[in-house]
Amino acid sequence: MVGLQIIPHNASNHTVRHVISVDGHDSEAIAAAITEAKSVTNKPSMICCKTIIGFGSPNKSGTHDCHGAPLGDDEIAATRKFLNWTHAPFEIPENVYAQWDQKEKGATNQVNWNEKFSAYQAAYPELASEFERRVIKGELPKDFEEKANAFIQECHENSENIASRKASQNAIEAFGHVLPEMLGGSADLAGSNLTLWSGSKGIQEDAAGNYIFYGVREFGMSGIMNGISLHGGFINYGATFMMFMEYARNAVRMSALMGIQNIFVYTHDSIGQGEDGPTHQPIEQLTNLRTTPNLTTWRPCDATESAVAWKAAVQNQKAPTALIFSRQGLPAMTRNQSQVSDIAKGAYILQNCDGTPDVILMATGSEVALAVESAKVLTEQGKKVRVVSMPSTNVFDAQTNDYKESVLPANVTKRVAIEAAHVDFWAKYVGLNGAVVGMTTFGESAPGNVLLEYFGFTVDNVINTVNKL
C-alpha cells in the first residue's frame, strides 16, 4: 500500500491497539488505512495522519503565514500550479460533482420514506399522527403542561429537605414517564449527577436505550448533544459537575449560537460541595453561563423551584438551558400558591414586610435559606426586610418593567445579594449603594459547611453587611 505504514511500537502496546500512520495528504492512503482499521475487530485502531500546514503553497507551507491571512494572488497562482489545479475559481469539475451529487438518491429515499410512512399511517393512524406531531414537528404532549404543573404542585405540598440534585432526579423521573423522547446522559458521573431514573436504559452497540454513558469527555458529550439536537426527535440532556463545564464551554456556546434545545445539567455547584477542593469548586462559571447570549440558566433553591426549572427547560425548544444543582441538602421553602406561580418569572418575593423595605436580600440556590434566616434576625432588630429568590436572572430580566419594579423597587437602594459565586455578577442588581456576600477568591479543601462559614456565608456576616449599609 502506497504511503501506508503499520507501527508496532513495542510488543506489549501492540497487543492492545492497532496504530496506522499515513500521509495525511494522500487520499488513497487514508482510504486504505480506514479499510485496514475496519478489518481489525479485537482491538481499537488509531489512524495518525501527518500533514503540513498550508500544503501546496510553495512559499508559505509549513509556516504561520498561511494560517490566518490570505495567500495573495501570486501565491494562489503558484499553489494552483503546484497542485496541478487548472479549473477556474468556484468551478467544480464534472467528475467531482458527479461523485458528490446525491439529488437522485435523496429523491429516491424521500419517495421510499413517503411510501412507507403512508402505509404506516393507513395501518396505525393514531400512532402515525402522534409520531408526526411529536418527532417530526417536535411538539410536546398535549397534557404535558397539566402533568408538569401537577408535579410542581406535588413538590409544593409535600416539601422535603433534599439536595437540589436529588430534586432534579425526581423531576427527571416525573417527566420521563410523560416524555419517552427524553434522551439523557452523563460524563462518567451519572451516580453523582443523579440523572438516571427508573426508566433509564443504557445505549449499547446491539441494543436501543435512552441513556448515554459518555465517559470522561465533557466537551465530547456536549458536542454530541448538539448533534442529537440538530438531528431532532429527542429532548436531550447531559450532565457533569458544574466546574467541568469549563471543558465543554465551546460546545455549550455553539448550542446557544445555533439556537438549539439542549438541557445541560450541572451539579456540585459551589464551595458547598467541600472536600474535592478548589479545583472542583466553581466560582466564576455561573457568571459565564448567565452572560452567554441565548442561554437560560437556573439555580433553584429547593424541590419546587427545581421542578419549575425542569419544566421551563423542556419547554425552551429554541435555545439551550443550564440547570445548576447542589450536592448538599437544602431546606424546603414555605410559599403560597401565588409565589409558586411566580417562580416561572425567574425571581419573586419569597418573604415580604409591611410597607417599603429598609433592605432587600436576594439570593439563589443554597443561599436562599441563609437569606431567610438572616431576614428573621434583622426583622427582630426592627428592620423591614424583603427576601427575593432569583432562580433565573435571565428569565427575570425578560419580564415586564412593572413586574421587575414590583420585586426590586428602584427606591429601595439598600440591597444585599447572597450567592456562593463571584461577586461581580450582582452589581446590576444591588447598584452602587448595595453589597454582595459572595466569592472573590478560589475555594479551599475542607467540608462544605466549614467552607461556607469560613468564606462568610453566615447569618452574622449577612447582618453585618446589611448594618454597614
| Residues belonging to the active site | 218
- Going across the sheet that includes 359-363, the strands are 348-351, 385-389, 359-363, 415-422, 435-439
330 membership: H or E segment, kind and range? strand 329-330
Q: Is 164 helix (H, G, I), strand (E, B) or coil?
A: helix
Quick one: how far is CA 464 from the chain centroid? 36
d(CA 310, CA 319): 14
Q: Is 84 left (phi over 0), alpha (psi -120 to 50) or beta?
A: left
Calpha distance 389→333 (Å, rounded) = 10
Cα angle for residues 267, 269, 272 (degrees, 5° grid): 120
Which has the closest alpha carbon to 264: 291, 210, 224, 304? 224
SS3 track for 342-406: HHHHCCEEEECCCCCCCEEEEECHHHHHHHHHHHHHHHHCCCCEEEEECCCHHHHHCCCHHHHHH
DSSP annotation of 297 reads E
3-state secondary structure of 298: strand
